[in-house]
Each structure stands twice: as C-alpha cells, then as structure tokens.
Amino acid sequence: MSGEIRFDGRSADVTACGCVTEAMAHRGPDGSGLWARGPVVLGHRRLSIIDLSAAGGQPMVDSPLGLTVAFNGCIYNYRDLRAELEGHGHRFFSTSDTEVIGKAYAQWGTSCVDHFLGMFAFAVVEHASGRLVLARDRLGIKPLYLDQTAARLRFASSLPALLAGGGTDTSIDPVALACYMTFHSIVPPPRTILNGVKKLPPATVRVVEPDGTWTERTYWKPAFSRDAAQAGWSDRDWEEALLESLRVAVDRRMVADVPVGVLLSGGIDSSLVVALLAQAGQHDLKTFSIGFEASGGESGDEFEYSSLVAKRFGTDHHRILIDDSRLLPGVDATIAAMSEPMVSHDCVAFYLLSEDVAKSVKVVQSGQGADEVLGGYDWYPPLAGVPRADAAEAYADVFFDRRWSAMPSLVSPDWLIDHDAPSELVAQGFAEPGAETAVDAALRSDTTVMLVDDPVKRVDNMTMAWGLEARVPFLDHELVELAGRIPPGLKLADGGKGVLKRAARGVVPDEVIDRTKGYFPVPAIRQLQGPMLEKVRDALSSDAARRRGLFRDETVQALLSDPNRTRTRLGSNALWQLGLLEMWLQHHGVG
C-alpha cells in the first residue's frame, strides 16, 4: 500500500507513487493498481488471498459511498461484519475484506477500527472532502511509514519503497541511532533511523485534512493489570481460558480463499498452533521447519522436535535444510528486505525459510509473540521482586544491549546526543497507568514496543519479501488482553510461559514442553568467520563508513581483531550489530 496527499495546491505525484508502489512488488506479486484524484493518489500491490477475482483489486473505489480504500493485511471477522453492515443497508459488489473496511468506515467513521479483528494498515480517502484517514492495527503487525514535508505527505508499507519515490530526507536521526545501539536495535515509533521517515504507531488512527493539518488518536491500550471479576480464578481456570482464547485466535486466522500452512519451529508455541488446528479437523496441513549447518560448536536445527510434532498430528511436513552456500547471498537479500536495520540473525533464517515456503503456500501461521505476551524470556524473572517504581531502570539493566555510560567508547562524538534518550523513552512507557507490577510493566512494554519493532517487523519484512503472509495468533488482541490479566507468577512459572506450558499438557507432546528453550539458529552469523566476517569488515572499513563516521575507529578495529568475543547483554554479536547497520545504510544509499 502507498499513497500521497498534497497540501500545496498541486496534483499528487502519480509517477512518484508509481515508483513507490512498484518497489513493493515483492509484497504483492499478484497485481497492482493506482488511483488518483487531484491532490491524492493511492497505490497498491496485491497478494490475492481473499476474493481472488478482479472485484477484490485495489485501490478499491466505492463510488456510491464516495470513498477509495487501499489496505494491507487481513480482517479476520470480515464475514460477520459484512452481515452486520448489510443489516444497516449496505450492498456489496465483492466478497473481499477491503470492501468491508470502506463500508465500515462509512457506517462508523474512524471508530470502524474498534470493530476489526485482524492485522491491518489502511488508507481511506473521502472524495467529497479530500480527507485522508490512515490507521494501523492494535499490535502493529502491519507497517505504515510516513514521509511528510510542508508540501505533501507520502506513505507506504515499506521504508525503502518510500526512498524510491525521491525527495526523502535520508539523514540519520541521532536519537534513533542511540536507541539502535542500546535498545537492542529497536527504534520506537514515531522515529526511524532516518530523519525524513516516521512510522504510524500501532493502534493509531490519523486523520489528515486537505490543508495538511492532522489529528491522531490511540484507540487501544492493553492494561496488563488484574480484573476484579477474575480474582477468584484458579490456576486451572487461567489455563483453560488461555487455551480457549488461542483456539479461537488460531481458527480466526484460517480465513482465506487459499491454503494456510504453519511455520513449525519445534517449540511449544508453533507446536500448539498445529495441535489446535488438528483438533479443529484440519487435514493435510502443510508445516515447514528450517535448519542450518552447525558452526562454532552450535547446532543449526531443531528438526528433532518439529518432526515429532509433524508425525504426531499427521501434517504434510517440509524440512528445509539451508546449505551454507545460500547464507552469504542470503544476508545481502535479507538486508535489502529490511524496512529498518534489525540486528537479529533470525532475519536471515526467516528470509530463507520464506523463500522456500512461498513455493507451496501464500499464507502461514506462526508462533511469534508468545514469549513477549506470556513471559517466556529470561529477563523477566529478575524483575519479579523489583518495586514498581524501579521497574524501568531494572528492565533496562537486564534488557538493553549496553547502558548509556558505554556509548562514548563506541559512538563517535559527532553522533552522540547529550542525554539518555532510550532510557527516558522506556521510563515514559513504564510510567503510564496500569501494569501493576514490574513484570507487568515489562511485559506491556515488550508487547507494545519491543515486539512490534523487532520480532513482528522481522516476520512481516522477511515473509512479505516473498509474497508470503504470516499470521500470528498469539497477537490476537483479545488473547493479549486476557494474557495481560493473568497473574505474573503464573506466567513466570516453570521457567517461563508456565501457564501456557500447563495448558498445553495433553495437547502437544511432553518432549516439546519440557525441552530447553530454543531459538531460530543461524550459527554462521552468531559466530562470525570466513566470508561472513569479511563482509562485515568490508562494510565497516568502506569509504562510505569512514565518511559517515558513526563509530569510533579504535573500537571497530578492536572488535574486528576478536570478532566473536564481545556480545551484547542478550548475547548478540556486537560486531554484527555495527556491521548490520552499515550494510543497511549502504545498501539503501543512505548518507
């Protein structure tokens, strides 16, 4: 999805919008469209999943209502909403969820977002007023990037696509750089690494008037606090409620006019998705797992567990073993697919997995988000006894890659800001009402900030790079609301995600529940050596890197001399973090 609205009396730049739209062909390989009306233009690349006919094409013009809609994502309850809207007198010319958005906007205005169950970023243009409405789903699963000047606002589902339209300020935002280097490569909205590009925050509706003025509201915030009505619930009550909520979320995400598969890592989260689909009667479900060659003493696959689950539930299972020869070119392609620099080596895994999976299906479900929502990571238990007032500082101590005091030894003086902006941003979020305990506050922050701008963005960017739509049932907003009410002790039990592990007993094999926590392993990146190390060295030693001067040269040289010794607090390779940022900037022609 893309578009532009001008505020200077000129017609929208259809050519620029066309360039932006075509730069996202990988996100929508099944068709394209442009619609222009005076100062406004909308563009769309189509991935046909619901209503495969031409009637479902976009941008979708609803002439009787005087609206045009461009939309990225899926409204899972669109059939129920369609029936409700028909009861209000609306008549439909397609069977698509896109048309439901337009009719819902006509019926309820910007409050239409409260009716949607799904993942979405959409633009609605009112023909009569020239008003533009932009909105993003509650958990930020679908992205929306903005490039606004005094003369116009341009937007797209991808940051690199915006650059293809020209005229974007590509200077680096020093505050965003500080966040990248401390907050585990996370740059919270509205900032991005570039001064000229912002992102619409999750759960946000922005109304843009023809003169350039705009208003914005946040329409959803999870409380992560207890509900008095559930004060008497037993542990088993919570387990059953969570399992039922996940069952509903998984079922919702099967809505499609094409087959839906599952990315099966072999962990409890994706295994439970497969199990619930099997219980619901899904047959011949396609499942996919990935593995890499071992390196540096680290195993590169989890096939043992994914194969166990596939056998138990009779899925059509595909084990994808990635040869090391694909890794080096895979890194370049992964960086090209990143809307923002993301340090996790999982990006490469998701990119290469998606390349192969997209040959079989267009839609997959994924277990992403369970750890953030249900307390599965090892930085949560240390917060259990921390006073609520000290939560933000304690969280930064266990999660940040490095604290502010370490920045002068790493970042060049020209790029250092004069205050600890990352800690201030975290403290601001932690200070908001709700979130009764330090653990609640950390889970709320991770669910609404970290998750959005790391794991969720990673999955969206890498799957959509191959025209593959990933759906994440653990981020169903009703499930997130329920999870937020669960007492923290139940989530931290059993080494993390205790309430989910106990709910899963008898549903998935015990071996999957009792195993050591795994991850998406890419050993050749975690242990930099050979051609991969040379790629990082070349990026950090290039003329472009020297001109930019982001990092202290002596620090870079020290890291290059012993590339696998220095790790961030969460275990990422520090040299990779620096090199990844430089490679992203250079690939996208920044600076």
- The burial of 307, by beta-carbon neighbours within 10 Å (0-12 exposed, 13-18 middle, 19 or more buried), is given as middle
Least confident segment among 68-77, 300-309, 499-508 = 300-309
The residue among 76, 454, 469, 460 whose CA lies nearest residue 260 is 469
Mean pLDDT of 77-94: 98
Distance CA 34, CA 41 (A): 7
Give residue-wise pLDDT tens across range 103-160: 999 999 999 999 999 999 999 999 999 999 999 999 999 999 999 999 999 999 999 9
Task: Provide the 3-class DSSP secondary structure of residue 505.
Answer: strand
At residue 518, the pLDDT reads 63
CA 423 to chain centre: 22
pLDDT band at 1 (very low <50, low <70, confident <90, very high): very high
Whether cis (ω within 30° of 0) applies to the bond prior to 59 is yes
Task: Provide the 3-class DSSP secondary structure of residue 473.
Answer: helix
At residue 295, the pLDDT reads 59
Distance CA 195, CA 429 (A): 22
Give residue-wise pLDDT tens across range 487-525: 999 999 999 999 999 999 999 999 999 987 765 557 677
Two tokens, residue 60: 């979708």
Give residue-wise pLDDT tens across range 224-262: 999 999 999 999 999 999 999 999 999 999 999 999 999
- The burial of 549, by beta-carbon neighbours within 10 Å (0-12 exposed, 13-18 middle, 19 or more buried), is given as middle
Q: Over 90: is that where the pLDDT of 283 sits?
A: no
Give residue-wise pLDDT tens across range 436-458: 999 999 999 999 999 999 999 99
Task: Provide the 3-class DSSP secondary structure of residue 147.
Answer: strand
Whether cis (ω within 30° of 0) applies to the bond prior to 190 is yes
At residue 324, the pLDDT reads 80
pLDDT band at 300 (very low <50, low <70, confident <90, very high): low
Distances (CA, A) of 577 to 245, 336, 348, 393, 551: 37, 16, 14, 23, 12
To which H or E segment does residue 308 belong? helix 303-313
At residue 219, the pLDDT reads 98
Give residue-wise pLDDT tens across range 334-375: 999 999 999 988 899 899 999 999 999 999 999 999 999 999
- pTM to 2 decimal places: 0.96
